Structure 1
């Protein structure tokens, strides 16, 4: 989906954002309506659908290093934007990728991919992290530490195991056999949930984002990073936003679109948002009281680090 700002003023609009939806293996681009961002920020937004679960992260020895199909879909969308942005008033040299939850993690993967070089000028990572993982027992009772990247060999082993469930584990026709399995069979059997992690060790994603950051192999572009409080409440019905919450939403849209246009979230009429440095205070946004806080004490970081051991 493409939503564009008002082009009647004769100015060249910056293509503000290519949006990657969240959902951890579910969802669609249409789940996130960018209309208010477009209207308030006078920017263009493209939302993207990409392959998920087994359809996006499946791997098999017979496929060689081919994997990361969801990431390849996102890269294809970025190439499309670069080639077509000018046709709807966008600047192909000013593209911001933003994602929420698993979409934020997908943004990290793109920043770590050599195939994305030159396609992304800024990134907004909302409610995930390039080094994110789920501590033991947090995804499900008894489940160990869950990471969002997986080595290619491990993904291939999972692919072989699932292939065996369909009677396609061995033989020269493993791929042909699997291609005959209806998509509904994958969904009904729950096999798509086996492949929520993105494989690395491939040409598209040589290393996980955390390693790429440590080794300085991640894209050197401005990044706006934050986390939603009580994120899972997004999945349940909620009461209508209060006036204070609506004001906060407008503030966040102002920061995001300003960052997309200039690389700096600060601007006229917006609360000051200082650049982060190690040990510095971070910006907290809450209805009626945005401002800097000490993250270590405010969010009990030591406690959460101990839970994840």
Structure 2
């Protein structure tokens, strides 16, 4: 039994354990059942966030390992015989955040029961050692445990365990691609929403910073690669031993704070390991071959995805991205010969600044090309509804000090679905209407598998075509309707350039 809070039209239950504390010998182990409690548990306050360190865009921290909790936002008590659609939100980033940071009242107003879990982040979710069960996938296993909790308990909150949509943004959306291809996640959800997901996305060298190498896949690493990351990042902790089990015992005995003190140890694990029981094969290969759970998918990206990262690394933190930076970045990403072709296609004279030129290059080459590939492979097997969030005046809710035109930035669509205290006061009436339309689309999709309903502009399925111009819905305050995604992001050029 749990006691929550009633607020107007909503019922909110916070900090409900869905798995036991992953501490001591349970650190870097599969999630275990939560300890039962007697009587009525207070669920009126958020539970602790999982271990994390502050970042320039998220000044929050935690050292608490007993963090595998979730929150439920529900409308007034419904007909429990039928139950309402359930939406489970997997938050993004992978090294910061938590379920309690997402206010789901807008979606609950649309007749959804919304569940927002925490899961292990960074090194606590991704560490890998030879012979370690679940290596590289502990965060994914936590999410799966939360989905299992929903299947067992949704009806108690007015939800339908037979109609569960799993939704997420960025790292969270990529986690959903992993669940689509994970045999152990079969049957735990019936629809999927992926916002700015990276299932089919590669990463050119320098795209995420001048010293960051390129990778064939942005989100996926082999078991050996995960072990190499672990070796490099945990070396300062003094736990190298002659056997992996002894190394693991040493790491498990360390205080959380000492682990978090290692620079970049959380960010280095913002990837998922494959070649294991959770992810037996590389997800892009499984998706291409149709080896995934056949559920309807709503999937999209933002118009200016990479402006977030250029702003955070350069202009918005007081380090302007210069012409010299642009030349260097193009050569690093594409090599000398192709760099000239890209510069001719994206001259800085066509943009307000070199930073915006570079952001557009990587938005088109990495994000848009990856989004189109993701939509193409999924749509061969299941209904897909593709979108592009295109509000270039979206409120910037990240605490970045410098001036920069972020446009329709990565994750800029999230406050249109979840109430954000930084963005909410900045919404114009037109943006509030866009928010209402978007929550209407998402709720309709959760109910029926199609974003259609009374008063909603028509949204047609995405069907791959040889010409490369299948239907994509543009979402902007001034216009909701079809967009030529292929042309908008110059994908004809990027089909010819590596």
Q: How high is the TM-score relative to the length of structure 2?
A: 0.59
Partner of residue 235 from structure 1, selected from 364, 385, 398: 398
What do residues 200-226 of structure 1 show as CA deviations (whole Å, max 9, x unaligned)?
111011123211101211111000001
In 2, Cα distance between equivalents of 1:50 and 1:306: 40
* 1:294 corresponds to: 484
Shift of 1:79: 0.4
* 2:441 corresponds to: 255
Partner of residue 219 from structure 1, selected from 270, 274, 293: 293
In 2, Cα distance between equivalents of 1:35 and 1:275: 28
Partner of residue 193 from structure 1, selected from 267, 271, 290: 267
Q: How does 1:1-309 map to 2 (within 5 A)?
A: 1-8=71-78, 12-39=82-109, 41-63=110-132, 66-146=135-215, 147-172=218-243, 173-190=246-263, 191-230=265-304, 232=308, 233-236=396-399, 240-279=426-465, 280-302=470-492, 309=498
Shift of 1:44: 0.3
- When structure 1 is superposed on structure 2, of 202-211 and 89-98 the one drifting more is 202-211
In 2, Cα distance between equivalents of 1:129 and 1:66: 21
Aligned length: 307
What do residues 41-77 of structure 1 show as CA deviations (whole Å, max 9, x unaligned)?
1110000100011000110114155330000000000
In 1, Cα distance between equivalents of 2:494 and 2:262: 34
In 2, Cα distance between equivalents of 1:178 and 1:107: 29
Question: Which structure has the bigger radius of gyration?
Answer: 2
In 2, Cα distance between equivalents of 1:177 and 1:28: 27
In 2, Cα distance between equivalents of 1:65 and 1:46: 24
In 2, Cα distance between equivalents of 1:9 and 1:50: 31
In 1, Cα distance between equivalents of 2:133 and 2:88: 30
Matched position secondary structure for 1:161: helix
Matched position secondary structure for 2:151: helix
- Aligned 8 A contact 1:15 1:85 in 2: no
In 2, Cα distance between equivalents of 1:158 and 1:34: 35
In 2, Cα distance between equivalents of 1:31 and 1:133: 29
- Aligned 8 A contact 2:471 2:483 in 1: yes
Higher relative contact order (CA 8 A, sep 6+): 1
Give the 4+ runs in structure 1 shifted more than 6 A.
none
In 2, Cα distance between equivalents of 1:65 and 1:106: 15
In 1, Cα distance between equivalents of 2:486 and 2:235: 47
Shift of 1:97: 0.1
Cα pair distance change 1:123/1:234, threshold 3 Å: farther
In 1, Cα distance between equivalents of 2:145 and 2:241: 32
- When structure 1 is superposed on structure 2, of 133-142 and 122-131 the one drifting more is 133-142
In 1, Cα distance between equivalents of 2:189 and 2:162: 8
- Aligned 8 A contact 2:444 2:451 in 1: yes
- Aligned 8 A contact 2:205 2:212 in 1: yes
Cα pair distance change 1:83/1:65, threshold 3 Å: closer
Cα pair distance change 1:10/1:58, threshold 3 Å: closer
What do residues 179-232 of structure 1 show as CA deviations (whole Å, max 9, x unaligned)?
122211222212122211110111011123211101211111000001123453
In 1, Cα distance between equivalents of 2:435 and 2:493: 29
- Aligned 8 A contact 2:93 2:270 in 1: no
What do residues 73-101 of structure 1 show as CA deviations (whole Å, max 9, x unaligned)?
00000000000111111111110000011
- Aligned 8 A contact 1:57 1:197 in 2: yes
